Structure 1
Amino acid sequence: MDFEETFTSPNETLTLNFTMDSGIPGYSMSYNGIEIITPSELGVVFSEVDMSEGLILDAYEISAYDETWSQPWGEQKEIRDHHKQVKFYLTKNVTGEKMNLTFRLFDEGLGFRYAWPEQKGLQDFVISDEVTEFNLAGNHTSWWIGAYQLNRYEHLFNETRVSEIDTVHTPLTMKTDDGLHLSIHEAALTDFASMTIANNGHNTLEADLVPWNNGDKVRGSAPHISPWRTIALGKTAGDLMTNYITLNLNEPSKLEDTSWLETGKYTGIWWDMHLGTKTWGSGPDHGATTEYTKELMDFTAKHGFYGVLVEGWNTGWDGDWAANSDIFSFTETYPDFDIQEVTRYADSLGVKLIGHHETSTGISNYEAQVEDAFDLYNEVGVEAVKTGYVGDFVEGGEWHHGQFMVRHYRDIVRKAAEHKIMLNVHEPIKDTGIRRTWPNMMTREGARGQEYNAWSVDGGNPPSYTTIVPFTRGLVSPFDYTPGVFNLLLTDKPENPNNNRVMHTLAKELALYVVIYSPFQMISDLPRNLEAQPVALEWVKAVPTDWETTIVPEAEIGDHVVVVRKDRNSNDWFLGGITNEEAREFEIELDFLEAGKIYEAHIWADGDEADWETNPYPLERTTQELTSETILELDLAKGGGVAIRFAEMD
Structure 2
Amino acid sequence: MRLLKTIVPAFALALAAGTPVPAFGEETPSAVTATSPDGSLVLTVTTDSSKRPTWSLTRKGKLLIGASKLGFTLTDGLNMVRGFRIVGSETASADTTWEQPWGERRFVKDKHNDVLVRFEQNADYAGRRMNVRFRLFDNGVGFRYELPEQPGLKTMKIADEWTEFDVAQGGTAFWVAGLEWNREEQIYQRTPIEAVATAQTPITMRLDDGTHLAVHEAALVDYSAMNFKRAEGRLFRSTLSPSSQGPRVVRDLPFNTPWRTIRIADSAAGLVENDLELNLNEPNKLGDVSWFKPMKYVGIWWGMIRGDWSWAEGANHGATTARTKQYIDFAAKHGFGGVLVEGWDKGWNGDWFGHGQDFSFTEAVHDFDLKAVTAYAAKKNVQLIGHNETGGHIANYEAQLEDAMKLYQSFGMNAVKTGYVADAGGIIAPAGKPGETRMEFHDGQRQVQHHLKVVETAAKYKVAINAHEPVKDTGLRRTYPNWIAREGARGMEYNAWGEFANGPDHEPTLVYTRMLSGPMDYTPGILSLEGAGHVPLASTLAKQLGLYLAIYSPIQMAADFVESLAAHPKELAFIKMVPADWAESHLIAGEVGDYAIFARKDRNSDDWYVGGVNDATARDLVLTLGFLDPGKTYTASVWKDGEGATYRTEARHRIAYETRDVKKGDTFPLWLAPGGGAAIRLHPGK
Structure 2 length normalisation: TM-score?
0.92
Q: State the SS of the aligned residue for 1:53.
A: coil
Q: Deviations over 1:15-61 (max 9, x none)?
A: 11111234221111112222210111111122323222111322101
Give the counterpart of 2:503 among 451, 459, 462. Answer: 462
* 1:164-313 superposed matches below 5 A: 164-313=195-344
Give distance in 2, aligned partners of 1:13 and 1:79: 21
Give distance in 2, aligned partners of 1:397 and 1:71: 37
| Alignment of 1:40 onto 2:68 | yes
Give the counterpart of 1:518 among 550, 553, 558. Answer: 553
Match of 2:6 in 1: none
Match of 1:426 in 2: 468
Give the counterpart of 2:609 among 574, 585, 591. Answer: 574
Q: State the SS of the aligned residue for 2:546.
A: helix
How many Å apart are 1:125 and its aligned residue? 2.3
Q: State the SS of the aligned residue for 1:408.
A: helix
Match of 2:647 in 1: 612
8 Å contact kept, 1:535–1:621: no
Give distance in 1, aligned partners of 2:418 and 2:151: 39
Give distance in 1, aligned partners of 2:204 and 2:279: 19
Match of 2:427 in 1: 394
8 Å contact kept, 2:32–2:89: no
Match of 2:668 in 1: 632
Q: Deviations over 1:397-422 (max 9, x none)?
A: 31111111011111111111111100
Match of 2:434 in 1: none
Match of 2:383 in 1: 352
Structure 1: 5+ residue stretches without partners: none
Match of 2:5 in 1: none
8 Å contact kept, 2:29–2:88: no
8 Å contact kept, 2:496–2:530: no
Q: State the SS of the aligned residue for 1:336.
A: coil
Q: State the SS of the aligned residue for 2:510.
A: helix
Give distance in 2, aligned partners of 1:431 and 1:120: 35
Give the counterpart of 2:445 among 400, 403, 422. Answer: 403
Q: State the SS of the aligned residue for 1:122.
A: coil
Give distance in 1, aligned partners of 2:393 and 2:160: 29
Give the counterpart of 2:680 among 622, 637, 644. Answer: 644
How many Å apart are 1:76 and its aligned residue? 1.1
| Alignment of 1:367 onto 2:413 | no
Match of 2:360 in 1: 329
RMSD value over aligned CA atoms? 1.2
8 Å contact kept, 2:331–2:338: yes
How many Å apart are 1:2 and its aligned residue? 6.5
Give distance in 1, aligned partners of 2:29 and 2:90: 17
8 Å contact kept, 1:2–1:20: no
Aligned length in residues? 643
Give distance in 2, aligned partners of 1:33 and 1:549: 32
Give the counterpart of 2:345 among 310, 314, 326. Answer: 314
| Alignment of 1:61 onto 2:102 | no
8 Å contact kept, 2:199–2:229: yes
How many Å apart are 1:236 and its aligned residue? 0.8
- More moved, 396-405 vs 314-323: 396-405
Give distance in 1, aligned partners of 2:327 and 2:153: 56
Q: Deviations over 1:225-256 (max 9, x none)?
A: 11000011111111101111100000000012
* 1:72-83 superposed matches below 5 A: 72-83=101-112
Q: Deviations over 1:111-152 (max 9, x none)?
A: 000011123422232011211110011122000111121111
| Alignment of 1:587 onto 2:587 | no
How many Å apart are 1:603 and its aligned residue? 0.4
Letter matched to residue 260 of structure 1: W
Give distance in 1, aligned partners of 2:78 and 2:251: 14
Give the counterpart of 1:3 among 30, 33, 48. Answer: 30
Give distance in 2, aligned partners of 1:628 and 1:65: 34
8 Å contact kept, 1:317–1:324: no
Give the counterpart of 1:622 among 658, 678, 683. Answer: 658
| Alignment of 1:486 onto 2:527 | yes
Query: Percent same amino acid at aligned positions?
Result: 44
Structure 1 length normalisation: TM-score?
0.97
Q: State the SS of the aligned residue for 1:121.
A: coil
* 1:529-540 superposed matches below 5 A: 529-540=564-575
* 1:106-185 superposed matches below 5 A: 106-185=137-216
Match of 1:565 in 2: 600
8 Å contact kept, 1:130–1:209: yes
8 Å contact kept, 1:264–1:521: yes
How many Å apart are 1:459 and its aligned residue? 4.5
Give distance in 2, aligned partners of 1:5 and 1:149: 38
* 1:544-555 superposed matches below 5 A: 544-555=579-590
Match of 2:55 in 1: 27
Give distance in 1, aligned partners of 2:34 and 2:516: 27
Structure 2: 5+ residue stretches without partners: 1-27, 429-437
| Alignment of 1:446 onto 2:482 | no
Q: State the SS of the aligned residue for 2:544.
A: helix
Q: Deviations over 1:345-367 (max 9, x none)?
A: 00110000000000001110000
8 Å contact kept, 1:487–1:529: yes
